[in-house]
Amino acid sequence: MDKQQQNSRMASNDPDLPDTSLDPQPGDLIEIFRPAYQHWALYLGDGYIINLTPVDESQAAAMSSVQSVFSGKAVVRMQLLKEVVGSDSYRVNNKYDHNHTPLPVCEIIQRAQDLIGQEVSYDLLGSNCEHFVTLLRYGEGVSEQATRAIGAISLVTAAASAFSVLGLINTRSRNRPF
């Protein structure tokens, strides 16, 4: 299996599809495909992951990190991968291994276990679930989702500013008496 295949092993909960994935290994990053976003977790072993969940402990809240966006807080929880994934699909995705060196697995797991049950700050752009798990795996928080979102926000802001300036110039030229 080449590095690309190792970094992108797919799994599905659909019983009609053959499971062609390899089992996740302790320390692997797990990308869970939600309808509107990707949720990230870190595999601990024996079917368990660690991930950020909303502070509200209800089962519905535990299935979505979206509520954390509004509260600015999340709780680090150890949960069964199959329960967190639910009917969504997931893959092992250690996509940053090519430019970030993973910490030793025993250190990744220890760092993760030390955080279980703790409340942490949550910020979609600066401290989200992907930042959290990459911080555990590499010692540095990285999130392409956040980078893409920041880029989109910057583009919209730049476009709005340009249209605003153009509108101001156009208004001034129309209001000249000569």
Concerning whether 129 is annotated as a catalytic residue, the answer is yes
Q: Which string of DSSP letters, residue by residue, matches 46-77?
A: TTEEEEEE-SS-SHHHHT-SHHHHHHSEEEEE
Concerning whether 106 is annotated as a catalytic residue, the answer is no
Length in residues, the chain: 178
Q: Which one is catalytic: 100, 106, 129, 131?
A: 129
Q: Which one is catalytic: 39, 98, 100, 106?
A: 39
| Closest of 34, 28, 9 to residue 20, by C-alpha | 9
Cα gap 52→67, rounded to integer Å: 11
Residues labelled as active-site residues = 39, 129
